[in-house]
């Protein structure tokens, strides 16, 4: 019940109430998980996800559930409220538009969202995937929250010497790379003409390492080098 009184005229008063019926029910327990466990790394209330990785989820009804009429997945994008230290979720409205393009299995127990969802929305760092089960007399839901793992920043890599032969020992030096979760390793790839034909040469857990390189292009001797920092 609520009682209200006018601040300027105390004779103006109002009373309101609402009747609430409490029903003793036991909702069905729904579990959601990643198909490949190592692709979802827990971090407090979120799972850490790389933006270049797809999300493949599965769901099960844990108990002996009644007849399932429908399974449906929803996607929410999140924004952190620094003042309340909470995440505000809003429905991602394009799930139907990109069904069977970005999203697969929207009405099944196995749901996949391709990495295009994250690559096309780089400013969104928080995502929630919710599954809703509809039974004859009730509904139950469960969800997983994800935070995007940001790429390392502010660093650079160099090679010395810049010319040599297949017997030359080249030194790779990577400096000032920063990642909140730390730098895991450095991977070196090379190619001559087509970047789609990159060849993996070496990887190192430390930023400075030495490596011998294959010969370059037959006509120009040019060899392109790419280093992945993660």
User: 141 and 200, same structural domain?
Assistant: no
User: 166 and 134, same structural domain?
Assistant: no
Question: 109 φ, ψ to 5°?
Answer: -80, -5
Residue 136 lies in a domain: yes
Find the domain containing 103 and state its range.
30-148
Cα 197 to its chain centre, rounded Å, is: 28
Dihedral angle sign, alpha carbons of residues 113, 117, 118, 124: negative
Predicted local confidence at residue 26, as pLDDT: 72
CATH label of the domain that carries residue 141: 2.60.40
User: 72 and 180, same structural domain?
Assistant: no
Domain final residue, candidates 95, 129, 148: 148
User: 58 and 127, same structural domain?
Assistant: yes
Q: How confident is the model at residue 176 (pLDDT cuts 50, 70, 90)?
A: very high
User: 85 and 121, same structural domain?
Assistant: yes
User: 142 and 37, same structural domain?
Assistant: yes
User: 168 and 131, same structural domain?
Assistant: no
Which residue pairs from 161-170 have beta carbons closer than 8 angstroms and sit at least 24 positions apart in sequence? 164/213, 165/215, 166/212, 166/213, 166/214, 166/215, 167/212, 168/212, 168/213, 169/210, 169/211, 169/212, 170/210, 170/211, 170/212, 170/213
The structural domain count of the chain equals 2
Predicted local confidence at residue 109, as pLDDT: 95
Q: How confident is the model at residue 24 (pLDDT cuts 50, 70, 90)?
A: low
pTM over 0.85: no
* Strand pairing category for 46-49 and 139-148: parallel
Q: How confident is the model at residue 23 (pLDDT cuts 50, 70, 90)?
A: low
pLDDT tens profile 117-130: 999 998 999 999 99
Domain final residue, candidates 126, 148, 170: 148
């Amino acid at each position: 019940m609520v009682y209200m009184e006018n601040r300027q005229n105390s004779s103006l008063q109002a009373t309101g109430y609402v009747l609430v019926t409490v029903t003793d029910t036991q909702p069905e327990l729904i579990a959601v998980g990643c198909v490949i466990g190592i692709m979802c790394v827990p971090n407090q209330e979120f799972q850490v996800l790389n933006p270049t990785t797809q999300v493949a989820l599965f769901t099960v009804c844990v108990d002996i559930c009644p007849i399932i009429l429908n399974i449906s997945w929803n996607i929410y994008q999140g924004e952190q409220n620094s003042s309340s230290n909470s995440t505000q979720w809003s429905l991602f409205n394009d799930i139907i538009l990109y069904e069977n393009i970005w999203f697969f299995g929207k009405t099944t127990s196995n749901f996949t969202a391709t990495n295009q969802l994250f690559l096309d929305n780089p400013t969104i760092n928080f995502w929630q995937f919710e599954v809703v089960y509809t039974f004859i007399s009730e509904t139950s839901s469960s969800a997983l929250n994800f935070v995007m793992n940001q790429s390392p920043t502010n660093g650079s890599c160099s090679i010395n010497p810049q010319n040599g032969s297949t017997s030359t020992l080249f030194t790779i030096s990577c400096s000032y790379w920063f990642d909140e979760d730390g730098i895991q390793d450095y991977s070196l790839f090379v190619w001559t003409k087509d970047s789609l034909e990159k060849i993996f040469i070496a990887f190192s857990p430390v930023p400075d390492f030495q490596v011998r390189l294959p010969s370059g292009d037959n006509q120009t001797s040019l060899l392109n080098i790419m280093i992945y920092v993660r």
